[in-house]
Structure 1
């Protein structure tokens, strides 16, 4: 599978959002807390491969301070709130 380096520990975690192929190369945005006006961070959904076979589609946020985050739909509406824990990888499947 593709190699990723996650810089987690202390109060820093990571977020991995898996999707279907329909979101390949699309940006996914997250923002801290529940405020729709909060500054957003984005990452692109990439195919994750094992040799030549695509095993998953995922956007990876490798360094996220602990706390709640809103994950946003492409249309700008909130999708779900996730909680990032320091030293851990939080996973979300976005359909």
Structure 2
């Protein structure tokens, strides 16, 4: 997780475009409202950990209420490290091609 914090308005249903298929999947990290606006960083497991992707957690208004999620819309299939901060790994997740991988992640920001 980087130290960046953003202020975004809510995201409605159908506003996120995923680019999945073949060897490309998407990752959705569901977390709590305390993460709203914070960035979550990931990097491919076993590769240079300084090469990371990051997205901000946004409040997403869905049919059953509000979910706080970070959406990585297109990732090559494989294992990824989720970073708690600049130097500490929080865990790993495996993204499969042509699918959406969804996990719940509840650490304190």
Question: Is the structural similarity TM-score above 0.5?
Answer: yes
Q: How many residues align?
A: 94
**Structural mapping, 1:1-95, within 5 Å:** 2-3=13-14, 4-35=16-47, 37-50=49-62, 54-74=65-85, 76-95=87-106
Q: Which runs of 5+ in 2 are unaligned?
A: 1-11
Structure with more of its chain in strand, by fraction: 1
Q: Which runs of 5+ in 1 are unaligned?
A: none
Worse-superposed segment, 29-38 or 84-93: 29-38
Q: Which runs of 4+ in 1 moved over 6 A?
A: none
Q: 1:18 is paired with a residue of what secondary structure?
A: strand
Please, what TM-score do these two structures have when normalized by structure 1? 0.88
